């Protein structure tokens, strides 16, 4: 391979500038940069993942691989690593890390060298969405390299995603009956009462903000719960850096407090990374392949409309989520808080990604009320186009096998799969930066389900892993969820059975656990 080797476009890498952003100048040639290159998957691995998509699949019929087994059998091949290593040398780049299990290699060099290697140009951009270093157009590489990689991440550091939580409006009078602690929701949703997540680990992905130990101690003490064991993992120099209560701290504390209160016996590991497509992907692959902490369920409460992502990024995330399924790891993802358009206005209907990835458990939102007799009732959460559960049909991913029996009119993956209380007007009592607050949003539903799955894993003595095929196969015959039949999120309407507002509905924890035992 030489710099004169035939080159081709790397599929799915085309980028456009952020809306209303303008070029303010070029990136200096000598500016040091680094990228993550995701290596390809093998045919045998793809066959393995296809098996995970089959509906009615019981846990007993699954072959769960340990992280070590997966790395040995399906990690990046030595030959592919050698090809990328030779490419790096030819273009004056340095390989600073090789993650065989993650199928990821880090290449470092000057901006000029990386632009030459991947056939692009970098500029500084200014715009209402923030300042960033970015590119337009597609990336290219020698044909030998294109053949062995799934994507290149790091040559564009725009803010990729946003949090999925909503603060209760300050103007609204807080009523105790419209505010729930996580343990109260666990009781309402019939979570197993004889489990606490002991022996399990919940991974939480964060792309900004931070946590405060004093607040966590005070919060869990107020619930009569011991503060869970918390570990912080830095990815790509991401840090646990608290800011303000109305910023990303609200997301971080909400995720930790909900997951920790539902499964107080579980260890919590928070992976902090920069809010870029590279940082997000690296955080997810680090969590999935963390052979020290070994999370069996991962909670993600960040996302963005599909049309804001590159095709290579969506393909890469789904690829590593499928890897997680093979290792028995459940990926819970918030389905979005901006209704059926996902905040895209005139761009039409959109669903949020990575919730729309077929190997994600997409978590939508409801509005929950409990009457004086303790009876609960729920409708679709919809307080307007920018305060409503996400849901709809993917414009990128085809209908997965486990949804094939639903006979969608649209030929795309349906979102969400499940739901939980998300209306900030019936929200979660949490503590953030010294303040007691009420927060809603589908951000709260992902850690709620993650905590529930940690309870299941403890009770079952094995990981639930990829829940969707079990859920779709069994939901017709058993009362595994509370079906939400009233409401809409804009263009999508709730109804009996699965719908594109709340999926199968909110959890009936004990019933779902009983079904998983068979």
443 is catalytic: yes
Specify whether the backbone of 514 is left (phi greater than 0), alpha (psi in -120 to 50) or beta: alpha
Alpha carbons 282 and 153: distance in angstroms, whole number = 9
Nearest to 27 by CA among 117, 159, 156: 156
Alpha carbons 178 and 224: distance in angstroms, whole number = 21
Rg for the chain, CA atoms, rounded: 22
Alpha carbons 316 and 262: distance in angstroms, whole number = 31
User: Which residues, in sequence order, are CB contacts of 509 under 8 Å at separation 6+?
Assistant: 186, 189, 190, 191, 192, 452, 455
**What DSSP string runs through 74-125?**
HSPPHHHHHHHHHHHHHTT-EEEEEETTTTEEEEEEEHHHHHHHHT---EEE
Alpha carbons 151 and 285: distance in angstroms, whole number = 14
Alpha carbons 366 and 349: distance in angstroms, whole number = 20
Q: Residue 367 pairs with which residues in a beta bridge?
A: 379
- Output phi, psi for 268, to 5 deg: -110, 130
Q: Which residue out of 150, 215, 255, 378 is catalytically annotated?
A: 255
251 is catalytic: yes
Tokens linked to 402: 């486990």
Q: Which residue out of 251, 282, 337, 378 is catalytically annotated?
A: 251
**DSSP conformational letter for 441:** S
Q: Which residue out of 301, 323, 443, 499 is catalytically annotated?
A: 443
User: What is the chain's length?
Assistant: 518
Q: Residue 202 pairs with which residues in a beta bridge?
A: 268, 297
Active site residues: 251, 255, 443
């Amino acid at each position: 391979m030489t710099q004169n080797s035939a080159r081709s476009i790397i599929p799915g890498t085309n980028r456009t500038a952020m809306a209303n952003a303008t070029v303010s100048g070029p990136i200096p040639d000598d500016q040091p940069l680094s990228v993550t290159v995701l290596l390809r998957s093998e045919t045998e691995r793809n066959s393995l993942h296809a098996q995970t998509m089959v509906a009615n699949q019981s846990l007993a019929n699954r072959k769960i691989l340990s992280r070590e087994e997966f790395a040995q059998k399906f990690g990046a091949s030595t030959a592919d690593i050698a090809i990328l290593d030779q490419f790096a040398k030819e273009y004056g780049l340095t390989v600073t890390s090789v993650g065989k299990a993650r199928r990821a290699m880090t290449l470092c060099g000057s901006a000029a060298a990386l632009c030459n290697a991947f056939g692009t140009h970098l500029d500084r951009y200014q715009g209402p969405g923030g300042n960033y270093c970015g590119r337009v157009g597609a990336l290219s590489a020698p044909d030998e390299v294109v053949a062995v990689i799934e994507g290149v991440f790091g040559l564009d550091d725009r803010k990729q995603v946003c949090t999925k939580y909503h603060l209760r409006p300050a103007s609204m009078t807080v009523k105790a009956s419209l505010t729930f602690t996580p343990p109260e929701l666990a009781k309402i949703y019939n979570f197993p009462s004889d489990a606490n997540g002991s022996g399990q680990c919940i991974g939480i992905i964060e792309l900004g903000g931070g946590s405060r130990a004093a607040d966590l101690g005070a919060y869990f003490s107020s619930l009569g719960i011991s503060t869970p064991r918390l570990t912080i993992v830095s990815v790509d120099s991401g840090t646990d850096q608290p800011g303000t209560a109305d910023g990303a701290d609200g997301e971080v504390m909400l995720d930790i407090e909900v997951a920790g209160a539902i499964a107080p016996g579980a260890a919590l590991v928070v992976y902090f990374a920069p809010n870029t497509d590279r940082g997000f992907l690296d955080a997810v692959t680090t969590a999935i392949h963390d052979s020290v902490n070994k999370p069996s369920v991962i909670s993600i409460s960040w996302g963005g409309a599909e049309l804001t992502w590159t095709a290579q990024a969506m393909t890469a995330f789904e690829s590593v989520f499928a890897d997680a399924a093979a290792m028995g790891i459940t990926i819970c993802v918030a389905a979005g808080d901006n209704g059926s358009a996902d905040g895209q206005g005139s761009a039409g209907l959109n669903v949020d990604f990575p919730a729309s990835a077929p190997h994600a458990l997409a978590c939508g939102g409801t509005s929950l009320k409990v009457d004086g007799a303790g009876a609960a009732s729920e409708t679709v959460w919809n307080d307007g186009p920018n305060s409503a559960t996400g849901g709809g049909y993917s414009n990128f991913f085809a209908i997965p096998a486990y949804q094939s029996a639903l006979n969608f009119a649209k030929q795309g993956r349906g979102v969400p799969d499940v739901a939980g209380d998300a209306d900030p007007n019936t929200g979660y009592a949490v503590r953030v930066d010294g303040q007691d607050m009420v927060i809603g949003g589908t951000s709260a539903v992902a850690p709620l389900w993650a905590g529930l799955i940690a309870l299941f894993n403890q009770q079952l003595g094995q990981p639930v892993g990829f829940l969707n095929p079990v859920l779709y196969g069994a939901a017709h015959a058993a009362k595994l969820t509370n079906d939400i039949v009233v409401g809409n999120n804009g263009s999508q309407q709730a109804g009996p059975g699965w719908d594109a507002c709340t999926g199968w509905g909110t959890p009936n924890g004990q019933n779902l656990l009983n079904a998983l035992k068979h």
